[in-house]
Chain A
Amino acid sequence: MSKKSESKNVDELTYEEAFTELVAVVEALESDVNSLDETMVLFERGQTLSHRCATLLDQAELKVLQLSGEKIIELDVE
């Protein structure tokens, strides 16, 4: 797991970033080379990530944009 994503605020992660890190946390926990303190930190991080993912899933609302020439605008149909 990279230091960078660890330092990143979970609320700023995209679903994909959060989920990828969650999987990495699980793998790190399963590898069993961490101290108990480290595993507790990892576990808490995992729970926060999982919560972030669930929130994003619940709040999901399809974003539809339109490419107008070279500009990106809100989709304007009808």
Chain B
Amino acid sequence: MLSNMYPSSYFKTSVSLSVTDLMRYLRQLMESDEILQNIWVQGEISNLARPSSGHIYFTLKDAGASLRCVVWRSSVARLKMSLQNGLSIEAHGNINVYESAGQYQLNTDTIRPKGEGVLHQEFMRLKMLLEAEGLFDNNRKRPIPESMNKIGIVTSLTGAALQDMINTIKRRNPMLEVVVAGTLVQGEGAPEKLVESLNLLNEIIAPDLILLARGGGSIEDLWAFNDERVVRAIVASKSPVITGIGHETDFTLSDFAADLRAPTPTAAAEIATGLTIDDLRSQLLEANSLLLRSIKVIHELKKNETRDCIARLQYCSPSRRIQNSWQGLDAMTRRMLSSQQHRMVLERTRLNGIKEHLSSLNPLDVLKRGYSIVSREVDGQLIARVDQVSEGDNLSVRVTNGTFPVQVSGKG
């Protein structure tokens, strides 16, 4: 194969090769080797560098040797884990030669944590550490507000999770305002972006609630949510945070740090809209009926007050007084009359008594017994003694039924 490109005579001459030629030869040698073109290498990351070009450079080393590695920008976005110095990894790619520096390097396209269970161990280590610090304490957690106006969402702008959440919120409470802070949710740079989005939302929007979400994926896919920096950003958030990361069975450290963990992004959106537009409608209906009832009560009250007043007014009116006076007058009249009658009866009785007494004294009654009354005709003087008359005197004798004249004929 080589002989096709470089005739064997080329190498057998004593003429020296240019450095470029040698490097090109070495490159072709390496690039034609199947093993070197598809290889996994394990070691620890050191000298990690992320220049602004977007490519990532690091050295993979173990106790005995080191290997230069590069992740081109085109592959950076596809990395499923975040790189840090000291991290033991397995890197996949191909060996090639960087001619101008005379160096060979691993063109890395895939990186995974070294060894089985490493991720889990790292998860448990960090969990214990952060737990001991009190970051997951329940008494540290902020209450989820019952009603709110603004919800912040931190998630990928391209994922289905965002659309699911927006649809859920739109259906349940379109009165709300949603502000999305797009972020990477996996791979290299994701933790930094997550922290940045959380902080920006807090600083610029200060929403009533933040939903931190990502659709389902492998444990590596969700790894950014186990990053210590993300956990601390959640704890530091001024707005309460609800996480909805992966599926129901997935637990990340972000979930432990959050004020509330929802099993999925959609569930997080449902919790955020605990107060739905239907709830608002019934609240309004209730307030409305209270309003109507209170005005009715007030009207009834005022009406009663007025009725009371009218009654009292009528009671005080002069017509009533006049009536009263009439009544008083009538009563007095009655009393007067009756006392008068009484008096009359009394007087009449007395009069009768006197009358009887008087009649017992009536001299005429004496006449009935045969006595008579004699009076001198001339002067009417009653004659009681003999010496009162002289012979020839004309006298008048009164008996019960009349008088008759007599003449004194002589004195005895």
User: Could you list which residues of chain A lie within 8 angstroms of chain B, going by C-beta atoms?
Assistant: 14-16, 19, 22-23, 25-26, 29-30, 32, 36, 39, 43, 46-47, 50, 53-54, 56-57, 60-70, 72, 75-78
- Nearest-Cβ distance from residue B196 to partner chain A, whole angstroms: 9
A39 to B298, CA, bound (A): 8
Identify the interface centre among A26, A53, A76, A78: most chain B CB within 10 Å of its CB.
A26
**Which chain A residues lie closer than 8 Å to B277 at the CB level?**
57, 60
Apart from A43-B295, A62-B166, A62-B178, what 16 extra A-B contacts exist at CB < 8 Å? A15-B280, A22-B291, A26-B294, A30-B290, A32-B298, A39-B295, A43-B291, A50-B288, A54-B284, A60-B277, A65-B177, A65-B178, A66-B157, A67-B201, A77-B158, A78-B158
Interface residue? B204 (CB, 8 A): yes
User: Could you list which residues of chain B lie within 8 angstroms of chain A, going by C-beta atoms?
Assistant: 147, 149, 152, 157-158, 162-163, 166, 169-170, 173-182, 197, 200-201, 204-205, 277, 280-281, 283-284, 287-288, 290-291, 294-295, 297-298, 301-302
Contact A63 B177 (CB under 8 A): yes
**Which chain B residues lie closer than 8 Å to A23 at the CB level?**
287
- Nearest-Cβ distance from residue B174 to partner chain A, whole angstroms: 4
- Nearest-Cβ distance from residue A56 to partner chain B, whole angstroms: 7
Contact B291 A62 (CB under 8 A): no
Chain B contact residues, majority secondary structure: helix
- Nearest neighbor of A68 in chain B, beta-carbon distance: B182
A39 to B295, CA, bound (A): 8
**Which chain B residues lie closer than 8 Å to A53 at the CB level?**
284
- Nearest-Cβ distance from residue A5 to partner chain B, whole angstroms: 16
Contact B295 A63 (CB under 8 A): no
**Which chain B residues lie closer than 8 Å to A39 at the CB level?**
295, 298
- Nearest-Cβ distance from residue B311 to partner chain A, whole angstroms: 19
**Which chain A residues lie closer than 8 Å to B298 at the CB level?**
29, 32, 36, 39
A34 to B182, CA, bound (A): 53
7 contacts between A and B (CB under 8 A): A16-B149, A22-B284, A29-B298, A63-B176, A63-B178, A66-B179, A67-B180
